[in-house]
Structure 1
């Protein structure tokens, strides 16, 4: 049976999940993480993609990226990124063979769900029990986002910019937002959508995409997630 073609929406965010082959470690030492992030920074310029958030775990990568006006940029970016990391590890360890799962997973994200997805990524190390707070995990975008005036490869997303008028106030509000535990339904929808290559968003987003693509990509979620902490 042929594999289902991914839905890629030009100009829209996509939650990307790429795992190591058979859940093997992709990142074994600090140099591996640094190499991958350097490649993201370089390749995002080459392919014209925006990066809204990232989280690197030992055996998997989560990215929130926007391919821009050319849908093909997403696949080209991910292919180059994965190939560079494979060559890096194979060369260092004098090994051959694949490093990654054959296909990365991808979920187009409704813009109103972008900030919840950013939080989902940056809370991952906490939910997995690796650290007590996102500020203690060095391999996510959280610290970069929360450092006022930092030299960052992150691109500003609309929901984050709308939190406040100044960078300092946005950091304060976002820090409070991340400390607030999201509803289980929200976390489950984001998790299931990327695992199944479905959509992250509300039913109206699903209707729009299905009408646009002529394909069934159903992921019927609840309403727009709460942006401000209670």
Structure 2
């Protein structure tokens, strides 16, 4: 039976749930949970989406993700594919790990977003030892919202939701705590099915543009590295590896291209393009390339 097309909007906020197949725990221990969040962080560096809240359980996990102009399917495929490969290798198993595709619902309005945030954070009360103190659970973003812990995994944007409570940080955190612990959920989110029938939710958020011209980006990269365009198409071109790596990374980030599309541009296989994207993600953080992404956005505006 063919799968239903996923409801998507590139400027929407999503409630995303991932779940393992019934006979396997998605996370066997804390190391697995740390690794999963590490892959989420790598995906965030690549696609520049926002995470508003999350909670990892044993056989499933919940996230509130602002796609920020990216394709939610590409984001989750990036995370789950890499995690499944890691998990099977570490635990010496084969076969599928996740139950079907990830589930997603478009957040419809502020009221639903507040309720959803409370629901996601209250999942931790189902874990033994955290029934009355979910804020102490390491793999939930609740403690970040309450200002009790720093963002260990550098994932969460808590300012967006907190700013809807108050523009003063201390007051916002206090009001959010009262909301979560007293209201818990305005909507019975737990019983709502993931049927992908949500309506788009837009707010005053700024959304990253993803339809930049690949030709213009290539022009900027070749100028930055002072190389000929042909060098980007030669597999082992001397001195062009960093340029190709940053090009692959930027094409994924700003052009919403699939890996196979980038393969045609740089004349390389998907495995090599994937490795170059990873290298590009690390290179762009270096001091010598500081400001390059902003320059690309400026030049292509």
Category of TM-score, reference length = shorter chain: 0.7 to 0.9
Aligned to 1:143: 143
Which residue in the other structure is 1:215 paired with? none
TM-score by length of 1: 0.77
Q: Secondary structure at the match of 1:107?
A: strand
Paired with 1:136 and 1:11, the residues of 2 have a C-alpha distance of 32
SS, match of residue 55 in structure 1? strand
d(CA) in 2 for partners of 1:65 and 1:193? 18
Alpha-carbon distance, 1:192 to partner: 3.9
Task: Determine the structure 2 residue equivalent to 1:180.
Answer: 182
Aligned to 2:85: 87
Map of 1:1-230 to 2, 5 A cutoff? 1-22=1-22, 24-70=24-70, 73-112=71-110, 113-126=112-125, 131-147=131-147, 150-151=150-151, 152-156=154-158, 158-182=160-184, 186-187=187-188, 190-199=189-198
Gaps of 5+ in 2: 202-301
Q: Is the contact made by 2:11 and 2:69 (CA closer than 8 Å) also made in structure 1?
A: yes
Q: Counterparts of 1:118 and 1:141 in 2: how far apart (Å)? A: 10
Unaligned runs of 5+ in 1: 203-230
- Separation of aligned partners in 2, 1:157 and 1:120: 18
Deviation for aligned residue 1:60: 0.3
TM-score (normalised: structure 2): 0.60
In structure 2, the CA distance between the partners of 1:182 and 1:29, relative to structure 1 (3 Å rule), is closer
How many residues in Structure 1 have an aligned counterpart in Structure 2? 197
Alpha-carbon distance between aligned partners in 1 of 2:193 and 2:118, rounded to the nearest angstrom:
15
Deviation at 1:163, TM superposition (A): 0.9
RMSD (Å), alpha carbons? 2.4
Residue 219 of structure 1 corresponds to none
Cα distance between partner residues in 1 of 2:103 and 2:147: 30
- Does structure 1 retain, via aligned residues, the 8 Å contact 2:143–2:149? no
Counterpart CA distance in 2 for 1:199 and 1:182 is 22
Ranked by relative contact order (alpha carbons within 8 Å, sequence separation 6 or more), the top structure is: 1
User: How big is the shift at 1:24?
Assistant: 2.1
Structure ID, larger Rg: 2
Contact conserved, 1:131 with 1:137, CA < 8 A, in 2? no
How much has 1:91 moved relative to structure 2?
A: 1.3
Q: Relative to 1, partners in 2 of residues 1:135 and 1:88: Cα closer, same or farther, differing over 3 Å?
A: same
Shift in Å, 1:51: 0.7
* Distance in 1 of aligned mates of 2:127 and 2:138: 15
